[in-house]
């Protein structure tokens, strides 16, 4: 019995222990579940912040979230759902410890993978533009081009060196190769201008920009190179063109592109030795032109409008022969003689032309400079040499400098800019400058460039009088007082890195008129530095963000005409300026100053004042009335623009500022008739929060930006005359129809660039009630660009009988995060969209169609095309459809868009058919199409096409995945 009792007791003890263990397990499970909930909450908060950050960056329209970021966010959402299910099971008594442990491991994994650095990537593939260059017509040039092209077709040739004397045409040949490669489509082409004084980091940055790699947080040269190589390995075939290489360049530091299969290198240099040291497999010497080709180039440079008699032609050929077949000399000399038809002037020119050329191109270039005969044009030409070698010089920027220097004349800024453009046009026409367009930004900017030989010639002239010291674009350097000779006129350290200015340095430069120390990484300027620069008229210290203080000696520069402290963000104050009564230009935009500089009321000659994006929140009372000559004024965004004071500025031509409410905005609009000239403006209403990418340039813009403002019911805002940009963001009290609140007096002849963001009341952009006809409404807005983002109640773009010109000039239509839109626009609207170049639709949860299948009231005109089975968007170049979960159709029937160059379909799971149709039957439909992007190979295979051979062509040539 005792044994039995013992066994019973033992079983009871085991049961108790099991029960206790079970209870403890339940308690532990509950505690672990609570810990898991907290960890998931932390992860969820991080995901929420990340999603907000991504969406903000995506609004730039050039960015989208990386696929790994999107996957991570989705996994966090999935984790939250699995946690919810686990908790539901726990409430029913099911303690799934295995699932809890697995979720715990998932949290740890997601936490570890959640540090991405960059969250977004560029949404578009890089656009590659042909470089402006005259067609190769000389036989020698054509032969050189074909030789290099043959080498490029050889898979065993990966590096080509092009060498020859300065001005012989190496860069021109490289430009022709670049453009042919772009047309060929087999290679991506990256052009890098190296020049003297290059920095490896700068070249790495240019390459990184091309391959969409962010190196901004990486300083180590070797790690930057490794990241570049990794990016190269992910890209298709590429040709890198290194122009104007002066010495051996380590390709390993540039990511070792020749170590990547399919990559090729072309370099141009004046030195055969550079080609040899860099291991070029094929070498081409570009030689001077023979007599026939030289004459052909010279004759073309004169322009065929320059009629040559037999006598003049004989003289002209004699001049051309003295250029020794050097293309740059021939082009520049011909430019200087263009339009001359008097035999006596030709003979005089030949008499003045140096006979002892001996292939000295500088004598030809100097001769062309001397023939300018206009000292202002000569001075403006020499001024361009203050910029770094091979720099693209924005026209508006250098004309601003001409104005600062007093080199251009006019009674207004408009006249001064016209004079400046006239001078630049003449220098371009005379081939002393190259004119081109900078395509690197959205808005194309006109630029000029100085050929490196012309710059060398200009610097040679400025060794004497005027005397320049130019160290622009150089690497780290220390200022040496002995370099600052007493007869200096102008000094430029533009875009250089100055390690430091020695303590106590005070250069004795009594004739110095211009000092450019912008973007030099300055941290300190010694107190006496400006002490002996009594004639200084232009002082540019822009873009030195680490500069904290200015020496008080600036206060004594009484000859100063221009002081630029632009983007010196560390600068908190400016020395007193009361003595600077000759000052015409004061630029303190994006500085940290918190008070108006002392004595500014004495600057009665001031014409240009920029105080945008500063810490200033108020202006001294009536200070603007004491500056009656102001032509350009940008006020701090925190200051409510004083309308009465502005009305006294009768010479104002460009204005930027904020009005706290529409009442003051309307008062200012009413006062505009007091201005004799058309005003360029950037006007803010409400509480405006500008990001770093905001373009502060007023010239060329007439903008109104209304943000975080409540508009009173039934208020209609008449937009200023000539407005070209309207941005409405986070406004309340709007009508359900956008154009009921914003009426146009007269928009720009190009049409309105309109952005509408986060305005919940808007249901329609244009909504005309039944029975009302707005086809002749003088106040109807006509759009050029329409960008809509986060209009939660937007139903559609238009409804009713609207004027056809409302959308006939539309080139860009972008719709993001509009979750009530079921279609983008009705078919009837198609006839008004002949100029549409871009459609970008994303994150619209219920959108089912792009072009509505049902006929709607979209235009005042009727058209048979609106009911036919073929739709036509003849100028459409870019189509992006992204994250549209309900999208089933782009359009019923066929869609013709032969101009399309980029198409992207991302997260559109219900899209089954692509309606694109081309009437051509050849092997290359859609000849402009270069990129076709989809997110899933299987989805691609399932898509049906209107023409099956089109799908096959895309798959072979253009198919790629996100």
Residue 534 forms part of a structural domain: yes
Higher-confidence position of 19 and 478: 478
Residue 5 forms part of a structural domain: yes
Pairing, β 931-934 against β 902-906: parallel
Whether residue 243 is found in the same domain as residue 312: no
Q: Region 215-242: what's the mean pLDDT?
A: 85
- Identify which of 749, 868, 860 has the alpha carbon closest to the alpha carbon of residue 809: 749
Whether residue 477 is found in the same domain as residue 586: yes
Question: What percentage of the chain has pLDDT greater than the value 90?
Answer: 35
pLDDT the model gives residue 61: 38
Give the integer Cα–Cα distance in Å for 174 and 617.
53
Q: Is 64 helix (H, G, I), strand (E, B) or coil?
A: strand
Q: Is 120 helix (H, G, I), strand (E, B) or coil?
A: strand
Q: Region 707-732: what's the mean pLDDT?
A: 84
Q: At what angle do helices 310-321 and 327-337 cross, to 10 degrees?
A: 140
pLDDT over threshold 80, residue 869:
no
Q: What is the pLDDT of residues 535-576, one digit of tens each?
A: 999 999 999 999 999 999 999 999 999 999 999 999 999 999
Residue 716 forms part of a structural domain: no
Whether residue 152 is found in the same domain as residue 281: yes
Whether residue 110 is found in the same domain as residue 14: yes
Q: What is the 3-state secondary structure (H, E, C) of 470-525?
A: ECCCCCEEECCHHHCCCCCCEEECCCCEEEECCCCCCCCCCCCCEEECCCCCCCCC
562: CB partners within 8 A, 6+ apart: 404, 405, 537, 538, 539, 540, 583, 584, 585, 586, 587, 608
Is 903 in contact with 873 (CB distance < 8 Å)?
A: no
Band (865; pLDDT cuts 50, 70, 90): very low
What is the Cα gyration radius of the chain?
34
Whether residue 189 is found in the same domain as residue 219: yes
- Identify which of 495, 475, 492, 494 has the alpha carbon closest to the alpha carbon of residue 483: 492
Q: What is the pLDDT of residues 724-735, one digit of tens each?
A: 899 999 998 888
Q: Region 80-105: what's the mean pLDDT?
A: 79
**Helix (H) / strand (E) containing 766:** strand 764-767
Give the integer Cα–Cα distance in Å for 710 and 84.
41
Higher-confidence position of 213 and 676: 213
Give the integer Cα–Cα distance in Å for 333 and 486.
35
Phi/psi of residue 220, nearest 5 degrees: -70, 125
319: CB partners within 8 A, 6+ apart: 298, 333, 337, 346, 349, 350, 353
Residue 669 forms part of a structural domain: no
- Identify which of 856, 799, 847, 854 has the alpha carbon closest to the alpha carbon of residue 823: 847
C-alpha dihedral over 339, 341, 344, 348, to 10 degrees? 30
Q: At what angle do helices 310-321 and 343-352 cross, to 10 degrees?
A: 20
- 167: alpha, beta or left? (left if phi > 0; alpha if psi -120 to 50): left
Q: Region 807-827: what's the mean pLDDT?
A: 93
pLDDT over threshold 90, residue 743:
no
Q: Using CA of residue 631, residue 635, residue 639, residue 641, what is the dihedral sign?
A: positive
- Examine the fold and report which residue of 249, 270, 285 is the final residue of a domain before the chain moves on: 285
Average pLDDT of the residues of the chain: 83
Q: What is the pLDDT of residues 100-129, one digit of tens each?
A: 888 888 888 887 777 776 676 654 444 567
Q: Region 362-388: what's the mean pLDDT?
A: 90
- Give me the domain span that covers residue 526: 465-616
Q: Judging by beta carbons within 10 Å of its beta carbon (0-12, 13-18, 19+), is residue 494 exposed, middle or buried?
A: buried
Band (291; pLDDT cuts 50, 70, 90): confident
- Examine the fold and report which residue of 334, 354, 371 is the final residue of a domain before the chain moves on: 371
276: CB partners within 8 A, 6+ apart: 161
Give the integer Cα–Cα distance in Å for 288 and 290.
7
Band (283; pLDDT cuts 50, 70, 90): very high
pTM of the model: 0.75
Whether residue 191 is found in the same domain as residue 322: no
Q: Distance between the two ends of the chain, CA-based, in angstroms?
A: 79
Give the integer Cα–Cα distance in Å for 453 and 522.
30
- Examine the fold and report which residue of 285, 308, 323 is the final residue of a domain before the chain moves on: 285
Q: What is the pLDDT of residues 264-274, one digit of tens each?
A: 999 999 888 88
- Identify which of 296, 257, 262, 294 has the alpha carbon closest to the alpha carbon of residue 278: 257
pLDDT the model gives residue 946: 60
Band (70; pLDDT cuts 50, 70, 90): confident
Whether residue 874 is found in the same domain as residue 926: yes
Listing DSSP states for 236-302 in one string gives --EEEEEEEE-S---GGGGT-GGGSTTEEEEEEES-HHHHHHTT-SEEEE-PPPPHHHHHHHHHHHH
Phi/psi of residue 189, nearest 5 degrees: -125, 125
- Can you say how many angstroms the Cα of residue 16 is from the centroid of all Cα atoms in its chain? 75
pLDDT the model gives residue 956: 46
Is 352 in contact with 398 (CB distance < 8 Å)?
A: no
Residue 343 forms part of a structural domain: yes
pLDDT the model gives residue 693: 61
- Identify which of 186, 165, 167, 174 has the alpha carbon closest to the alpha carbon of residue 144: 174
- The domain tally of the chain equals 6
Q: Region 578-599: what's the mean pLDDT?
A: 95
Whether residue 384 is found in the same domain as residue 488: no
pLDDT the model gives residue 747: 64
Partner residues linked to 267 by β-bridges: 161, 242
Cβ–Cβ contacts within 10 Å for residue 527, how many? 16
Residue 76 forms part of a structural domain: yes
CATH code, domain carrying 596: 3.80.10.10
pLDDT over threshold 70, residue 34:
yes
Higher-confidence position of 74 and 542: 542
Whether residue 361 is found in the same domain as residue 397: no
Cβ–Cβ contacts within 10 Å for residue 930, how many? 17
CATH code, domain carrying 457: 1.10.10.10
Whether residue 225 is found in the same domain as residue 338: no
Q: Region 492-518: what's the mean pLDDT?
A: 93
Whether residue 150 is found in the same domain as residue 279: yes
pLDDT over threshold 80, residue 97:
no
Question: What percentage of the chain has pLDDT greater than the value 70?
Answer: 84
Q: What is the pLDDT of residues 155-175, one digit of tens each?
A: 889 899 999 888 888 888 999
pLDDT over threshold 70, residue 598:
yes
CATH code, domain carrying 191: 3.40.50.300
Q: Region 360-364: what's the mean pLDDT?
A: 76
pLDDT the model gives residue 534: 94
Give the integer Cα–Cα distance in Å for 634 and 656.
4
Q: Is 137 helix (H, G, I), strand (E, B) or coil?
A: coil
- Per 3-state DSSP, the chain is made up of helix, strand and coil in percentages (nearest 5) of 35, 20, 45
Partner residues linked to 498 by β-bridges: 477
Residue 764 forms part of a structural domain: no
Q: What is the pLDDT of residues 601-629, one digit of tens each?
A: 999 999 999 999 898 988 998 899 999 99
Residue 178 forms part of a structural domain: yes
- Identify which of 278, 276, 215 has the alpha carbon closest to the alpha carbon of residue 242: 278
Q: Cα dist. 581→421, 586, 604, 719 in Å?
A: 29, 12, 7, 38
pLDDT the model gives residue 815: 96
Q: Is 307 helix (H, G, I), strand (E, B) or coil?
A: coil
pLDDT the model gives residue 445: 63
Q: Is 122 helix (H, G, I), strand (E, B) or coil?
A: strand
Is 408 in contact with 414 (CB distance < 8 Å)?
A: no
pLDDT over threshold 80, residue 439:
no
Whether residue 483 is found in the same domain as residue 342: no
Band (427; pLDDT cuts 50, 70, 90): very high
pLDDT the model gives residue 714: 63
pLDDT the model gives residue 746: 65
Q: Judging by beta carbons within 10 Å of its beta carbon (0-12, 13-18, 19+), is residue 547 exposed, middle or buried?
A: buried
């Amino acid at each position: 019995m005792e044994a039995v009792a013992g066994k019973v007791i033992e079983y009871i003890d085991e049961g108790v222990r099991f029960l206790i263990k079970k209870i403890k397990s339940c308690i532990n499970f509950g505690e672990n579940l609570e810990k898991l909930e907290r960890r998931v909450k932390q992860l969820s908060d991080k995901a929420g912040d990340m999603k907000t950050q991504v969406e903000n960056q995506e609004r730039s329209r050039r960015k989208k979230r990386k696929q790994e970021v999107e996957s991570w966010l989705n996994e966090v959402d999935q984790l939250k759902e699995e946690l919810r299910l686990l908790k539901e099971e726990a409430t029913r008594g099911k303690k799934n410890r295995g699932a809890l442990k697995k979720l715990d491991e998932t949290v740890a994994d997601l936490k570890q993978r959640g540090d991405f650095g960059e969250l977004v990537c560029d949404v578009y593939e890089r656009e590659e533009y042909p470089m402006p260059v005259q067609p190769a017509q000389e036989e020698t040039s054509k032969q050189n081009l074909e030789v290099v092209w043959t080498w490029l077709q050889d898979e065993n040739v990966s590096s080509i060196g092009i060498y020859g004397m300065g001005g012989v045409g190496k860069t021109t040949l490289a430009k022709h190769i670049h453009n042919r490669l772009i047309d060929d489509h087999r290679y991506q082409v990256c052009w890098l201008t190296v020049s003297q004084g290059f920095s490896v980091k700068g070249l790495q940055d240019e390459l990184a920009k091309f391959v969409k790699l962010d190196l901004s947080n990486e300083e180590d040269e070797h790690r930057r190179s490794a990241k570049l190589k990794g990016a190269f390995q992910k890209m298709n075939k590429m040709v890198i063109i290194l122009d104007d290489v002066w010495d051996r360049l380590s390709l390993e530091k540039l990511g070792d592109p020749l170590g990547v299969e399919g990559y090729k290198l072309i370099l141009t240099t004046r030195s055969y030795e550079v080609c040899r040291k860099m291991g070029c497999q094929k070498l081409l010497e570009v030689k001077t032109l023979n007599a026939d080709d030289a004459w052909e180039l010279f004759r073309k440079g004169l322009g065929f409008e320059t009629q040559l008699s037999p006598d003049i032609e004989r003289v002209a050929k004699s001049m051309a022969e003295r250029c020794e077949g050097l293309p740059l000399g021939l082009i520049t000399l011909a430019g200087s003689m263009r339009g001359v038809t008097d035999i006596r002037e030709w003979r005089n020119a030949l008499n003045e032309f140096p006979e002892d050329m001996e292939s000295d191109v500088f004598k030809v270039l100097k001769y062309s400079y001397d023939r300018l005969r206009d000292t202002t044009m000569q001075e403006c030409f020499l001024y361009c040499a203050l910029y770094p070698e091979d720099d693209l010089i924005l026209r508006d920027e250098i004309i601003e400098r001409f104005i600062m220097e007093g080199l251009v004349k006019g009674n207004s800024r408009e006249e001064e800019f016209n004079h400046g453009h006239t001078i630049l046009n003449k220098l371009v026409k005379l081939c002393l400058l190259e004119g081109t367009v900078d395509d690197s930004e959205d808005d194309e900017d006109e630029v000029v460039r100085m050929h490196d030989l012309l710059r060398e010639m200009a610097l040679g002239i400025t060794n004497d009088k005027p005397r320049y010291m130019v160290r622009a674009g150089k690497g780290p350097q220390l200022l040496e007082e002995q370099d600052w000779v007493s007869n200096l006129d102008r000094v430029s350290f533009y875009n250089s890195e100055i390690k430091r200015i020695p303590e106590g340095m005070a250069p004795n430069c009594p004739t110095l008129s211009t000092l450019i120390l912008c973007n030099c990484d300055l941290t300190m300027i010694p107190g006496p530095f400006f002490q002996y620069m009594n004639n200084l008229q232009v002082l540019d210290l822009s873009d030195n963000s680490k500069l904290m203080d200015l020496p008080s000696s600036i206060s004594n520069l009484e000859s100063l005409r221009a002081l630029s402290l632009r983007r010196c963000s560390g600068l908190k104050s400016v020395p007193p300026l009361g003595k600077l009564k000759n000052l015409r230009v004061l630029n303190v935009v994006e500085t940290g100053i918190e008070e108006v500089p002392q004595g500014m009321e004495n600057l009665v000659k001031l014409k240009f004042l920029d105080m945008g994006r500063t810490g200033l929140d108020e202006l001294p009372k009536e200070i603007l009335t004491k500056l009656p000559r102001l032509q350009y004024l940008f006020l701090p965004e925190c200051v409510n623009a004083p309308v009465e004071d502005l009305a006294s500025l009768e010479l104002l031509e460009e204005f930027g500022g904020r009005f706290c409410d529409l009442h003051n905005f309307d008062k200012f609009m009413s006062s505009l008739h007091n201005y004799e000239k058309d005003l360029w403006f950037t006007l803010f209403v409400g509480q405006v929060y500008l990001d770093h990418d905001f373009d502060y340039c007023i010239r060329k813009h007439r903008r109104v930006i209304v943000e975080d403002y409540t508009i009173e019911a039934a208020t209609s805002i008449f937009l200023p005359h000539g407005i070209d940009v309207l941005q409405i963001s986070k406004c309340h009290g709007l009508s359900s129809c956008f154009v009921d609140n914003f009426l146009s007096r007269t928009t720009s002849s190009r049409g309105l660039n309109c952005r509408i963001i986060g305005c919940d009341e808007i249901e329609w952009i244009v909504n005309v009630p039944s029975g009302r006809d707005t086809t002749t409404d003088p106040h109807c807005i006509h759009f050029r660009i329409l960008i809509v983002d986060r209009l939660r109640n937007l139903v559609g773009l238009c409804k009713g009988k609207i004027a056809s010109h409302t959308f006939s000039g539309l080139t860009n239509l972008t719709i993001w995060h509009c979750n009530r839109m079921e279609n983008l626009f009705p078919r009837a609207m198609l006839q008004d969209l002949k100029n549409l170049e871009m459609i970008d639709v994303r994150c619209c949860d219920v959108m089912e169609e792009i072009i509505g299948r049902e006929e709607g009231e979209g235009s005042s005109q009727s058209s048979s095309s609106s009911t036919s089975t073929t739709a036509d968007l003849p100028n459409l170049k870019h189509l992006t459809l992204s994250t549209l979960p309900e999208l089933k159709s782009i359009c019923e029937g066929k869609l013709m868009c032969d101009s399309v160059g980029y198409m992207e379909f991302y997260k559109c799971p219900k899209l089954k058919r692509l309606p694109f149709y081309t009437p051509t039957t050849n092997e290359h439909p859609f000849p402009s199409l270069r990129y076709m992007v989809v997110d899933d190979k299987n989805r691609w295979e399932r898509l049906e096409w209107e023409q099956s051979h089109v799908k096959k062509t895309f798959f072979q040539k253009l198919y790629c995945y996100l």
